[in-house]
Amino acid sequence: MATALLFSRSMEGQARTEQPSWKPIDTPAPIETARRQIGAGEFRDAEAGLQTYLSTHESSADAHALLGYAEMRLNQPKASLQEFTRAAQLRTPTAQELRSVGEDYALLDDFIDADHWMSRSLSLDPKDPDTWYSLGRIRYSLQRFQDAVQCFEKTLELVPQSVKAANNLGLAYEGLNRIDDAVREYRRAIAWQADSAHPSEQPLLNLAIILIHQDKGGEALPLLTQAVAIAPADPHIHDQLGHLYLNRGALPEAQAQFEEAVSLAPQNGAYHFLLGQVYRRRGMSAEAKKQFDLAAASDGNHSSPE
């Protein structure tokens, strides 16, 4: 939960719906530089520059807020919240800043406060699709699946054919055990990204998992093949391919996939255990024992591999 050091609900007085009436005439060069760096994804450089600027301009609300955003993107949520707290003490937070506060709390696995600040952000800007999407992810994490469905549907109203919104809507429907609806959303997401230069592997993987559970491995295989081509470093995709090949009795292919999964996630005991099973079925006793020993020494997931 929030502490006195972090942006907490005690900041409600600063998070008003009205916006400040003043506008700065000129933006200092370090602030503009930081904005450009953030836009280019150079968060570490922006962080360093803003910290230097704040050493002599402590009362700059914009600098604190930008630093908070950079630190959030650098996965430093506590430091980020401290900067947003300071900014809120100097002027009214914007909807975008409150969204970032919500994202900070999500990074801290405090989904209750994350939900609160995302909702406050939407009270200032109810037409921001990114905030609706983030709130959907938070409510999914809270297992409030019907609420998550509504958030992702709102995202799709604002950004039609959003692949990530449709994919996450499918996940929310799965949470509600509405499998047919989930399949429909995954198929929509896949269709919408057909001509994309940078497609997502997630709807392909999620649909394939459902099809495998429905004993439709023939339909799942091309989806997983596409997914692994998009994200070859995702061990979960290799794991699913390994399961599919193992169920078909294609042991060399299953071995190759589980070996890749193990190389990508050596700490995962389930992958070692599954690879050991394949080695044992192929008569490779020494290799199998080694994998079973590694599974036993890791996280224990080998007792019930997915």
Q: What is the tens place of the pLDDT at every residue in 128-183?
A: 999 999 999 999 999 999 999 999 999 999 999 999 999 999 999 999 999 999 99
Q: What is the mean pLDDT of the chain?
A: 92
H or E element, residue 251: helix 251-264
Architecture of domain 127-187: Alpha Horseshoe (1.25)
pTM score, whole prediction? 0.86
Name which of 58-72, 111-125, 292-306 the model is least confident about.
Answer: 292-306
Give start and end residues of each alpha helix (H) in 95-141: 95-107, 111-124, 129-141
CB-based contact 212:227 (threshold 8 Å)? no
Whether residue 25 is predicted with pLDDT greater than 60 in this model: the reply is no
Domain ranges of the chain: 1-7+31-105, 127-187, 206-306
Architecture of domain 1-7+31-105: Alpha Horseshoe (1.25)
What is the torsion angle, in degrees rounded to the nearest 10, for the CA atoms of residue 259, residue 262, residue 263 and residue 265?
160
pLDDT at 259: 98
Fold match between domain 1-7+31-105 and domain 127-187: yes
pLDDT at 22: 38
pLDDT at 298: 85
Please report, for residues 51, 256, 274, 282, the alpha-carbon distance to residue 246 in angstroms, rounded to integers and kept in the order given.
54, 11, 9, 12
Q: Note the CATH number of domain 206-306.
A: 1.25.40.10
